[in-house]
Amino acid sequence: MMELPGWAEEMRDLFRSGSTAQFLVHGNVFDVVPAGGRLLSVPAFLDEVMFAQYDVVLRYDRSRGVRATRGAEDWGDFLQNALGREGNPLTLMREPGSALELIDRYLLRTLNLQAIGAGGTGPLGIAEPRAAPRRIAVIIEFAEFVVPRGDALQLGGGFAANTVKVLGWANDPAIAESNIVTVLVSEGLHDLNRLVVDNPHAAALHIPLPNESEMQSYVKALATSQMRDLEAKSEVPMATLGARLTGLSRVGARTAISLALRNGRPITAEWLGKIKKDLIERECQGLLEFIESPFTLDHVAGHEAVKDWLRQDTALLRRGALRALPMGYLIAGRIGTGKTFVVQCWAGEMGIPCVVFKNFRDRWVGATESNLEKIFAVLRAVGQVVVFVDEADQAAGKRGGGDSDNGLSGRVYSMLAKEMSDTRNRGRIIWVFATSRPDLLEVDLKRQGRLDVHIPLFAPETDAECQVLLLAIASKLKFPLTAADLPPMPEGLLLGGNELEGVLVRALRLHELSEEPKRAIREILADVLREVRPSPHTRKLEYMDLIAVKECTDARFLPARFRELSPEELETQIDALKRFV
């Protein structure tokens, strides 16, 4: 007996139990499915494997209309009796409303024939000489274009009628007790009408991306069939190749390998990493971006306790001590303290992929949720990955949502919170949120078990710290600056990291514009430091500092002046500054 993928086994078991006769198949639906030595599309796998013993299989999408891949004679007789010779069956079978109406009448006719036995008279008063088919399967592809998400009043009569028909197929006891099954195939579950998705009589089945062992089996099958020169042209062992391609669909993996083989390129680890990154970003339609950082934590000035902690967690990750790792990190601090740069530097020495959430919000109904579904599916398949969410207070949503966005913010929050708290992903998906306003994040989202370690970052407070930071910024900008080039800091001048970078860039600008013989960079820096004006938003910045202190989960991250603050004193200072924010 053929071994079925997990989602197909669940479909079989649910249908055999009689608990449901309608399935919503979503996720990696555009991939191929191995079946007895063949690779089939998801609709073809349903047709030829899951419903191989069915008398009639009807497949429908808006482009090709309704077609009977099995039982065509019975379906053709029905159409001739129902439409006669004057109708235009091609048009009727292509438009969703008329196509679903024909399928609905066909199912009703079948149920009536089953009730009265072989032959008899159908519901249209037409003689039916043939016995009714015993088992019927209906597969609706691209179902988001048939029963799209949206309110019934907004969708209009046609889509509302489609929704009612699909609900009827799931809820009708006569269909549930017969061997009639309906399957809706859509990449995003959130693209389908909520009434269909939330129907207790329908079962949602998620098709995941291939895991590591499945991808290794697929690569091995390619090497022994379609790509016999693969092993010879790959500098990466076959097992490693399969592991490195995890996170792609099978179609994506085949595309990556074909791109190398057909262009005469050897498959190296470096090339594989680049092409995998490009393909995942393309499959996610730009919703994720991989961080390829040339920096390491050695490029971070100061923040010694933070660097020590992150390096310890990196060592745990490499040792496989996943149970000792946090689920996620919250990095807080005023603007310009290097939150994003710290994450980039950490990514540069971790040795696992690090991805950034792009703008996954969309103005179309249901599109944002579908984008998140797609992102989560890729993250689960990649293996170990760090997920960086910058400006997290804007991206993460709110528990209650709001009327201004029709509850979208609340749905985003709910999906993120659920994914972040899945302990099966500990050490596999590591979340890093960065924000200057952690007070705007929902408490449940930043709690222990989701974002366990809260790291505050602060601006330099001494002349020595400022000079170290200036040297680090110069190294980042690839400018040969030494300690001897740094003038003393003007008394009482306090600048953040972003402001110090601005100072250095202004000095370099003047240095490049000056005529020969050029002035010493030390003199130019001294002039710029005398003329620079610090940010006037001092109270807002101080508020951000105090909020970061409040969120901190470990005293070793705090400067000495904040460690002795009692919670009461901290709250008093925060309350005093709130009116300036």
Measured CA to CA in angstroms, residue 403 lies from 153, 408, 409 at distances of 18, 9, 10
Question: Which tokens hold the place of 176?
Answer: 């549930």
Segments forming the whole domain that contains residue 419: 297-456
User: Which is it for strands 22-27 and 38-41: parallel, antiparallel or unpaired?
Assistant: unpaired
- Residue 292 to residue 348: CA distance in whole angstroms: 7
Q: Does 405 fall in a domain? A: yes
Q: Write the single-letter amino acid at 171.
A: N
Supply the CATH number for residue 311's domain. 3.40.50.300
Instruction: Say yes or no: 199 and 248 in one domain.
Output: no
- Residue 501 to residue 200: CA distance in whole angstroms: 58
Domain boundary (422, 437, 456) is at 456
Total domains, the chain: 4
Q: Does 413 or 52 have the greater pLDDT score?
A: 52
pLDDT at 195 over 80: yes
Q: How confident is the model at residue 542 (pLDDT cuts 50, 70, 90)?
A: very high
pLDDT at 184 over 90: yes
Domain boundary (456, 490, 520) is at 456
Instruction: Say yes or no: 181 and 118 in one domain.
Output: yes
Instruction: Say yes or no: 320 and 333 in one domain.
Output: yes
Instruction: Say yes or no: 327 and 254 in one domain.
Output: no
pTM of the full structure: 0.72
SS3 387: strand
pLDDT of residue 437: 94
Instruction: Say yes or no: 353 and 339 in one domain.
Output: yes
Q: Does 305 fall in a domain? A: yes
List pLDDT tens digits, range 261-306: 888 888 887 787 778 778 777 777 777 888 888 888 988 888 999 9
- Residue 254 to residue 256: CA distance in whole angstroms: 5
- Residue 495 to residue 476: CA distance in whole angstroms: 18
Q: Does 155 or 116 have the greater pLDDT score?
A: 116
Instruction: Say yes or no: 80 and 195 in one domain.
Output: yes
Q: Does 152 or 351 have the greater pLDDT score?
A: 351
pLDDT of residue 90: 67
Instruction: Say yes or no: 446 and 504 in one domain.
Output: no
Please state the rounded mean pLDDT for residues 366-377. Answer: 78
pLDDT of residue 80: 85
Q: Does 218 fall in a domain? A: yes
To the nearest 10°, the Cα dihedral for 113, 117, 119, 124? -30
Q: Does 1 fall in a domain? A: no
Three-class secondary structure assignment of 32-84 = EEEECCEEEEHHHHHHHHHCCCCCEEEEEECCCEEEEEECHHHHHHHHHHHHC
pLDDT of residue 46: 96
Instruction: Say yes or no: 127 and 221 in one domain.
Output: no
The lowest-confidence range among 309-323, 393-407, 508-522 is: 393-407
Please state the rounded mean pLDDT for residues 94-105. Answer: 91
Q: Does 579 fall in a domain? A: no
Instruction: Say yes or no: 139 and 168 in one domain.
Output: yes
- Residue 168 to residue 7: CA distance in whole angstroms: 24
List pLDDT tens digits, range 337-367: 889 999 989 988 887 788 888 766 665 556 7
Are 128 and 116 contacting, i.e. CB atoms less than 8 angstroms apart? no
- Residue 59 to residue 99: CA distance in whole angstroms: 11
Measured CA to CA in angstroms, residue 62 lies from 78, 93, 196 at distances of 21, 9, 19
Instruction: Say yes or no: 302 and 348 in one domain.
Output: yes
Instruction: Say yes or no: 119 and 259 in one domain.
Output: no
- Residue 465 to residue 443: CA distance in whole angstroms: 33
Backbone conformation region of residue 370, classed left if phi is above 0, alpha if psi is from -120 to 50, else beta? alpha
To the nearest 10°, the Cα dihedral for 20, 26, 30, 32? -50
Q: Does 191 fall in a domain? A: yes
Nearest-CA neighbor of 314 among 352, 342, 357? 352
Q: How confident is the model at residue 130 (pLDDT cuts 50, 70, 90)?
A: low
Give the H/E segment covering residue 513.
helix 497-513
Instruction: Say yes or no: 304 and 264 in one domain.
Output: no
User: Concatenated DSSP letters for 2-40?
Assistant: PPPPHHHHHHHHHHHHTS-SEEEEEESTTSEEEETTEEE
Mean pLDDT value across the chain: 86
pLDDT at 120 over 50: no
Please state the rounded mean pLDDT for residues 303-320. Answer: 92
Domain boundary (509, 531, 553) is at 531
Question: Helices 212-224 and 250-262, interaxial angle, to 10°?
Answer: 40
List pLDDT tens digits, range 245-257: 888 899 988 988 8
CB atoms within 10 A of CB 33: 22
Q: Does 554 fall in a domain? A: no
Measured CA to CA in angstroms, residue 552 lies from 332, 393, 534 at distances of 8, 17, 26
Q: Does 92 fall in a domain? A: yes
Please state the rounded mean pLDDT for residues 124-139. Answer: 71
- Residue 216 to residue 245: CA distance in whole angstroms: 9
Measured CA to CA in angstroms, residue 233 lies from 213, 227, 261, 269 at distances of 22, 10, 8, 12
